[in-house]
Amino acid sequence: MLMYYLAMAQRSCRRSKALTTLVIVLMGCGVACCMVTYAVFRATSADPIPWKSGQLFVPQIDNFGPVHDWKGQPPTLLSYTDAEVILHAAQARRQALVYPVNVNVVPEDVQRQPFMQEGDAVSSDFFAMFDAPFRFGSGWSMADDDHRAAVVVISRALNQKLFGGGNSMGRQIHLDRHDYRVVGVLDDWNPQPRFFDVSSVSFPFSHPRQIYLPFSRAIDLHKANTSNFYCSTDTSNPDLPNWDAVLHSECAWIGAWVELPTRAAAGQYLRYLHNYAAEQQRIGRFGWPPNVRLSNVRQWLYLNHVVPQASRLSLIVSCSFLLICLVNVVGLMLARFMRRAPEIGVRRALGASRAAIYGQFLTEAAVVGLAGGILGLLLTALGMAGIRLIFEPQIARLAQLDGSLLLLTLAVAVGTTLVAAIYPTWRAAQVQPAWQLKSNG
């Protein structure tokens, strides 16, 4: 029966070429517009570490007070005092501190000029916590953290640039007038967004860092935070005369993460944060009740508004455009199907059931929708090529025309066309054979 319906759909499309072409064009344009914007939204809103996002949490402690918080929300970063307590209290399975730094790299080849490189100062649990893949070696140990060891982990790209891509474990790299021993080389690793440092960078979809230094050594060398530095009194130009004043200030500039494998562990850790804040209130450091938060990866990305507003708005606009296309398709299909009322009346008079009429016209709609989907694929590919004209390059490069998007484009085209065909098909199935035979008799 399906082959019969397909043959009838082919003959119907040939008889109504103009209407068929118009429906295909409308569906192709509407679906392509949706798929291009969806590809961007999917890339920017995807879970960067889905297998573990429910176990990774950001602790927040309000050390600014209710006068300086944002709608009751504690600062997104921690002061050095609170960060050190969280690190050494070891109340979680793992705990990691991170803040961005810049380092000056001096190549071994004297013919090459030194260059500035972005990096992160992190504690030893960082790599295991975020499942960072290594090409050579591994991260440093907790003992290296405690001894402020001059060790470093570099990216694959920097390893290629400095050492030709070979195994550089144990080799020396000169950074800021100090020699460091390479203990690990990361493989290609660029989670998008950079969720573990999203509140400390100006753009969460930036390129990956190339150098990772021990947090404790960066502190000893007075490596300043190169991004966000919040103070309750003056967020732009805090009056801090020296590095020691920075460390003992209430300014927030260090990101913290903890790994809590179970819900019970998360609840216990939240109680620990509350008790710690209560203790700080008791000794006079805080003059307000405890205000703490514990957010997992998904909650943290939402809290920091990581998904660009432009991608949300463009998706809403494109879906609205698809809806307008569907309304027009409903009208076109209604006109197309009702023109065949005499044919429907004859079929019904010869014994065809209403279910058969539904099957015939919905099959025809699916065929037209599939053709619209194929056109939508071509237009989607064209839209992906020009997406850089609308979105920032860092976001545009994330959107990919992969197999799942291809299948989704076809599925949306066929599905929406079938939805648009429901009412016209219902009207066609209501045709009374007696009336049509009498009017054409």
140 phi, psi to nearest 5 deg: -85, 170
Provide DSSP, 79-104: -HHHHHHHHHH--SSEEEEEEEEEEE
pLDDT the model gives residue 235: 47
Report, as an integer, the average pLDDT of 364-368.
83
Which range is least confidently modeled, 10-19, 287-296, 328-337? Answer: 10-19
215 phi, psi to nearest 5 deg: -55, -45
Which range is least confidently modeled, 230-234, 366-370, 435-439? Answer: 435-439
245 & 334 share domain: no
Between 297 and 201, whose confidence is greater? Answer: 297
Q: Is 145 among the domain residues?
A: yes
CB 146 within 8 A of CB 216: yes
- Number of structural domains (the chain) is 2
Q: In whole numbers, what is the pLDDT of the chain averaged over residues?
A: 84
Per residue in 67-112, pLDDT (tens digit) is: 776 778 898 899 999 999 999 999 999 999 999 999 999 888 777 8
Report, as an integer, the average pLDDT of 29-54.
88
Whole-angstrom Cα distance, residue 412 to residue 365?
13
User: At 382, which helix (H) or strand (E)?
Assistant: helix 354-385
Rounded to two decimals, what is the model's pTM?
A: 0.80
Q: Where are the beta strands (DSSP E) in 253-299?
A: 255-259, 292-296
129 & 254 share domain: yes
Q: Is 370 among the domain residues?
A: yes
Pairing of strands 211-214, 134-137: unpaired
Per residue in 129-142, pLDDT (tens digit) is: 999 999 999 999 99
Q: Is 27 among the domain residues?
A: yes
Report, as an integer, the average pLDDT of 206-226.
91
Which range is least confidently modeled, 69-73, 208-212, 274-278, 388-392? Answer: 388-392
pLDDT the model gives residue 119: 92
Q: Is 337 among the domain residues?
A: yes
Is pLDDT of 117 > 70? yes
Percent of the chain with pLDDT over 70: 86
335 & 360 share domain: yes
Q: Is 244 among the domain residues?
A: yes
Is pLDDT of 216 > 60? yes
Between 158 and 354, whose confidence is greater? Answer: 158
Question: Which DSSP letter does residue 77 get?
Answer: S
Q: Which range marks the domain in which residue 10 is found?
A: 2-47+308-439
Spatial neighbors of 316 by CB under 8 A, at least 6 apart, are none
* Domain endpoint, select from 244, 259, 274: 259
Q: Where are the beta strands (DSSP E) in 30-187?
A: 56-61, 94-106, 115-122, 134-137, 151-154, 172-175, 178-186
pLDDT the model gives residue 236: 47
Is pLDDT of 277 > 90? yes
10 & 73 share domain: no
Per residue in 232-269, pLDDT (tens digit) is: 764 445 567 788 888 998 899 999 999 999 999 999 99
Q: Is 405 among the domain residues?
A: yes
* Domain endpoint, select from 259, 294, 325: 259
Question: Which DSSP letter does residue 224 get?
Answer: P
Q: Is 286 among the domain residues?
A: no
Q: Is 277 among the domain residues?
A: no
246 & 224 share domain: yes
222 & 139 share domain: yes
The band of 158, judged by pLDDT with boundaries at 50, 70 and 90, is very high
6 & 60 share domain: no
Report, as an integer, the average pLDDT of 406-410.
89
227 & 158 share domain: yes
Whole-angstrom Cα distance, residue 353 to residue 363?
16
105 & 170 share domain: yes
Report, as an integer, the average pLDDT of 403-413.
88
Is pLDDT of 364 > 70? yes
The band of 432, judged by pLDDT with boundaries at 50, 70 and 90, is low
230 & 351 share domain: no
Question: Which DSSP letter does residue 388 get?
Answer: G
pLDDT the model gives residue 418: 87
Between 316 and 109, whose confidence is greater? Answer: 316
Question: Which DSSP letter does residue 213 get?
Answer: E
* Domain endpoint, select from 196, 230, 259: 259
pLDDT the model gives residue 436: 46
pLDDT the model gives residue 98: 95
User: Is residue 397 exposed (0-12), middle (13-18) or buried (19+ Cβ within 10 Å)?
Assistant: middle
108 & 218 share domain: yes
93 & 198 share domain: yes
